[in-house]
Homo-oligomer: A and B are copies of this chain.
Amino acid sequence: MTQNAITVLQEGSVTSAKGFEAGVTYAGLKVQRDGVVDLGILLSRRPSAVAGMFTSSNIRSPSVTLSQRRLAVGKTLGVVANSGCANTCVGEQGYKDAEESTALAARHLGLTPDEIVMCSTGLIGAELPMALIRAGIPKITMSPTGGHDFANAIRTTDKFGKEIAVALDIGGARVTLGGCAKGAGMIHPQMATMLAFLTTDANVEPSFLKDALKEAVDATFNMVSVDGDMSTNDTVLLFANGAAGGPAIRAGTSDAAKFQQALHHVSRHLSHEIVRDGEGATKVMEVTVAGARTLADARVAARSISSSLLVKAAVHGNDPNWGRIMMAVGKSQAYLEEDKIGVYLNDVCLMEHGLPIPFFREAVVASMRSNPTVRFRVELNIGSASATAWGCDISQEYVHFNSAYVT
């Protein structure tokens, strides 16, 4: 199948798929500005299969713990999400507050508490201001066009909302898959990611849904890095409510491959938006390591480059410093043979057989300066596995911003 089978919808959002609704309010968890919202609900109006992936940090928000437990029960229909407060490092009160918040959302929607999960993002170590949440939830009006607002309600330091939806045909049914996500700092997921919500009206067999999400997350969200720091609240949820009709999509079928491709497309778009909006970022870095012996090697090498502080600084300065690329590949512990390595920057070859080759430096610098994305390609030439990682440069603004986050 070809990429053409997927249509990117204009103004697509997390509620583009049939049977999904969202609503938001300003509850007072963030500083009030024009149009700011900080509390939202996303819901499937029909029973839905749901898959989730969560932070692998040993310090995690009770909002994460509650969501993990309820997903295991299998009744989830929606999520209440807040920004401004991570509900993390707050002891047992955090779990009670997550329980109460989901109960409030459930009552407002005419559901039972175990049908709602919770995601929180923001400052660590502050309890949820429950009085504000109690007052806020009843004000939320659900709407099939509420997706854009929901994408805004989960923003913290994000400069813009991140959302997308695509459509494709599966088994004769027109299926929609959409999503939204938030960054923009403490971004270096492992086995999980920042907050991202994905919805589809496709009819997807639950165990395949779980596997499809893992495959997409491993190749996209888990391959981005803004600052190498993994959050305590990382969560991705994928809802599939079957509202588009058609037979269930099962593993190993051509429908499954189509769905996987669409899921990859949506996840990659949102991941890319996260690095583009990385704190202080002025450039996106796309790093492909090809010809690796294993996929794990390709991934670890690509991530080592995209998260290296020295590489990030070189990208910021439009400096084609391939020595730092070699350093980062070497320290990754991926298997390599030095005399086989080729390095390309925006398609210009800088190294062959592990050796620098003469290149027109000013042309490469100009190409880095004029492109918002800098592409590195490292050819290991010892196998056939390939992986791409995304990162961003580090700027003086990043340091300034994160030196004064609380103060």
**What residues of chain A have their CB less than 8 Å away from a CB belonging to chain B?**
56-60, 86, 88-91, 123-125, 185-186, 188, 190, 227-232, 308-310, 313-314, 316-319, 321-324, 326-336, 338-339, 351, 353-356, 365, 394-396, 398-407
Contact = CB atoms under 8 A, between A and B. Distances in A.
B351 A89 contact: yes
A399 B313 CA distance: 6
A335 B59 CA distance: 10
B124 A402 contact: no
A235 B335 CA distance: 21
A329 B59 contact: yes
A319 B230 contact: no
Contact of A354 (B89, B328, B399, B407): B89
Main secondary structure on chain A at its contact with chain B?
A: loop
Contacts of A185: 310
A330 B57 contact: yes
Contacts of A124: 323-324, 326-327
A395 B402 contact: no
A356 B90 CA distance: 8
B400 A229 contact: no
Query: A-B pairs with the 8 shortest C-beta distances?
Result: A59-B330, A317-B403, A124-B323, A313-B402, A57-B330, A396-B396, A230-B331, A227-B309
Given A229-B309, A330-B232, A338-B59, A317 B404 contact: yes
A316 B407 contact: no
A338 to B, nearest CB: 6
A63 B231 CA distance: 40
**Highest count of chain B CB atoms <10 Å: which of A57, A91, A330, A396:** A330
A89 B322 CA distance: 10
A254 to B, nearest CB: 39
Interface-central residue, A327, A335, A395, by most chain B CB under 10 Å:
A327
A321 to B, nearest CB: 6
A407 B318 contact: yes
A331 B57 contact: yes
Nearest to A335: B58
A65 B398 CA distance: 38
Contacts of A125: 322-323, 326, 356
Contact of A308 (B56, B60, B91, B228): B228
User: Which of A309, A319, A328: most chain B Cβ within 10 A?
Assistant: A309
A327 B228 contact: no
B334 A58 contact: yes
A336 B402 contact: no
B186 A310 contact: yes
Contacts of A354: 89, 91
A150 B322 CA distance: 30
Contacts of A403: 313-314, 316-317, 319
